[in-house]
């Protein structure tokens, strides 16, 4: 499906412009600057934009004329797809504006076609790393207690005295992708020791490199921050990593069959045995990676010192779910990836993949359907 170069005719007639079909969850005006940049670089494209409105993860119905789908050379989307691949006979690739594609893993385009699917992995690192570090500092500096005192107009120094700063503490990053690498950069700057965990071994300099999209000036492009690397997909290999006296555990792995309930009671017990002071768990991946009832129990029994969760199981989290009232938990509604430059960064990934597709080069962030990411 890859072309030979910028001037190679498309599957449409050579006189037609190639269509970039955008089905995205923000108004077109928010993407106007990026669309202009795309048209400026690729003189032979036109853009059709559809605002896929949604609320708390539920999409409102969207109808797109079949003739537009049939003409599309590229689709940029977050979650909307046509019913099957036959509706996109001319598409070269589908660029998702999300870090993962597990939300469409059962869709016929995913399961029954060979259309290249690319994620926006790499655009989330800066803002999610800020969320992780913010939550960890809020916890270690007892800010929730102090804020409650402020609201009650109460001056009590004792409530904020037992602070453990981050220098010399250890962060274990479960999933050393673009998000994990930016967490590592910030944590390292704070004086923390960094441990990385990946599904496959990373023993050579080349395998430690980040080959995905990188926001300039961020991340860990050459994999230099971790003092040690751990790897594997089995519970035994995960347990070896969890035994390393981890102060902050950052969950940043994709959701797959292997990682579903990757952390449960046994894992929380290991964390406590290795670090009786308490491990703080931050999950910015997917809620199902943690066995949620086991997490609630671990919070109540003190197996971990606390948890910061931007994802839950299910979402939205029902009002009567016991996770809401568990001790030392901070919950946000799946917003850690939000930033005012999200559209700009994601369109940069699309443009890079259009360059690569037209030049016959390997796409960035192409999803391996067998691995699930």
* Segments in 51-107 forming alpha helices (H): 66-71
What pLDDT band is residue 15 in, cutting at 50, 70 and 90? low
Full strand arrangement of the beta sheet holding 72-77: 45-51, 18-24, 72-77, 93-96, 117-118
Q: What are the phi and psi torsion angles at 337 (to 5°)?
A: -85, 0
Averaged pLDDT, 153-168:
95
Cα–Cα separations (whole angstroms), residue 121 to 85, 206, 251, 349: 23, 19, 15, 9
CA–CA gap between residue 279 and residue 268 (Å, rounded): 9
Q: Output the DSSP codes for 308-358.
A: EES--SSSSPPTT-GGGGSTTEEE--S-TT--TTHHHHHHHHHHHHHHHHH
Question: What share of the chain in percent tops pLDDT 90?
Answer: 89
Average pLDDT over residues 309-319: 97
Distances (CA, A) of 1 to 17, 87, 94, 354: 18, 16, 12, 12
pLDDT band at 54 (very low <50, low <70, confident <90, very high): confident
Q: Which of 216, 218, 192 is nearest to 130 (CA)?
A: 218
Q: CATH fold of 125-331, please?
A: Rossmann fold (3.40.50)
CA distance 35 to 276: 52
Where are the alpha helices (H) located in 42-101, listed in sequence order? 66-71
- What is the pLDDT, as a whole number, of residue 3? 34
Q: For 30-45, what is the mean pLDDT? A: 97
Q: In what order do the strands lie in the sheet with 329-331?
A: 228-231, 193-198, 170-174, 248-251, 280-283, 306-309, 329-331
Over residues 172-212, the pLDDT tens digits come to 999 999 999 999 999 999 999 999 999 999 999 999 999 99
Q: What is the mean pLDDT of the chain?
A: 93
Three-state DSSP class for 269?
helix
C-alpha triplet 63, 96, 101: angle, nearest 5°: 105
Q: Give the mean model confidence (pLDDT) for residues 243-259.
A: 95
**pLDDT for residue 5:** 36
Residues in a beta bridge with 289? none
HSE-CB for 31 with a 13 A CA cutoff: 24
Fold of 18-123+339-358: Rossmann fold (3.40.50)
Cα 72 to Cα 65, 242, 275, 300, distances in angstroms: 11, 47, 54, 53
Average pLDDT over residues 210-233: 96
- The percentage of the chain sitting over the pLDDT mark of 70, rounded to a whole number, equals 95
Q: Give the model's confidence band at 16: pLDDT under 50 very low, under 70 low, under 90 confident, else very high.
A: confident
* Residue 55 pLDDT > 80: no
pTM passes above 0.75: yes
pLDDT confidence bin for 56, thresholds 50/70/90: low
| Domain ranges (residues) in the chain | 18-123+339-358, 125-331
The confidence score (pLDDT) of residue 12 equals: 45
Q: Assess whether pLDDT exceeds 50 at residue 329.
A: yes
Label residue 60 by pLDDT band (50, 70, 90): confident
Kindly give the pairing relationship between strand 18-24 and strand 45-51.
parallel
Res 102: pLDDT: 86
Question: Please, what is the Cα angle at 118 between 362 and 67, to 5 degrees?
Answer: 110
Tokens 């901070």, located at residue: 330
pLDDT of residue 100: 84
Cβ atoms of 77 and 62 closer than 8 Å: no
35 touches 53 (CB < 8 A):
no
Whether the pLDDT of residue 268 is over 70: the answer is: yes
Q: Scanning the structure block, which residue is given the tokens 């989290």?
A: 317
Reported as a pLDDT band with limits 50, 70 and 90, residue 18 is very high
Sequence length of the chain is: 373
């Amino acid at each position: 499906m890859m072309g030979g170069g910028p001037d190679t005719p498309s599957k449409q007639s050579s006189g037609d412009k190639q269509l970039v079909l955008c089905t995205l969850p923000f108004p077109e005006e928010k993407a106007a600057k990026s669309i202009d940049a795309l048209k400026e670089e690729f003189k032979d494209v036109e853009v059709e934009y559809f605002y896929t409105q949604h609320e708390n993860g539920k999409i409102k119905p969207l109808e797109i004329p079949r003739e537009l789908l049939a003409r599309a050379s590229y689709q940029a989307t977050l979650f909307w797809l046509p019913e099957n691949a036959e509706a996109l006979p001319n598409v070269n690739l589908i660029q998702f504006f999300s870090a993962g594609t597990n939300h469409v893993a059962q869709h016929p385009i995913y399961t029954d076609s060979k259309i290249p699917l690319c994620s926006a992995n790499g655009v989330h690192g800066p803002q999610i790393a800020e969320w992780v570090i913010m939550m960890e500092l809020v916890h270690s500096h007892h800010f929730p207690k102090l804020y409650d005192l402020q609201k009650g107009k109460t001056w009590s120094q004792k409530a904020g005295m037992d602070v453990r700063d981050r220098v010399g503490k250890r962060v274990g990053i479960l999933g050393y992708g673009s998000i994990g690498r930016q967490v590592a950069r910030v944590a390292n700057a704070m004086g923390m020791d960094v441990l990385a965990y990946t599904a496959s071994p990373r023993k050579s300099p080349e395998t430690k490199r980040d080959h995905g999209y990188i926001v300039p000036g961020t991340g860990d492009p050459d994999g230099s921050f971790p003092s040690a690397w751990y790897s594997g997909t089995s519970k035994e290999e995960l347990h070896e990593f969890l035994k390393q006296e981890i102060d902050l555990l950052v969950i940043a792995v994709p959701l797959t069959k292997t990682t579903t309930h990757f952390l449960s009671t046994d894992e929380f017990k290991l964390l406590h045995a290795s670090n009786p002071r308490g491990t703080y768990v931050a999950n910015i991946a997917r809620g199902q990676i943690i066995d949620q009832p086991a997490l609630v129990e671990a919070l109540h029994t003190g197996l971990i010192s606390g948890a910061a969760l931007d994802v839950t199981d299910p979402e939205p989290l029902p009002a009567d779910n016991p996770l809401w009232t568990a001790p030392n938990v901070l919950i946000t509604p799946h917003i850690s990836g939000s930033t005012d430059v999200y559209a700009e960064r994601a369109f940069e990934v699309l443009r890079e993949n259009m360059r690569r597709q037209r030049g016959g080069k390997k796409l960035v962030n192409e999803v391996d359907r067998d691995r699930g990411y």
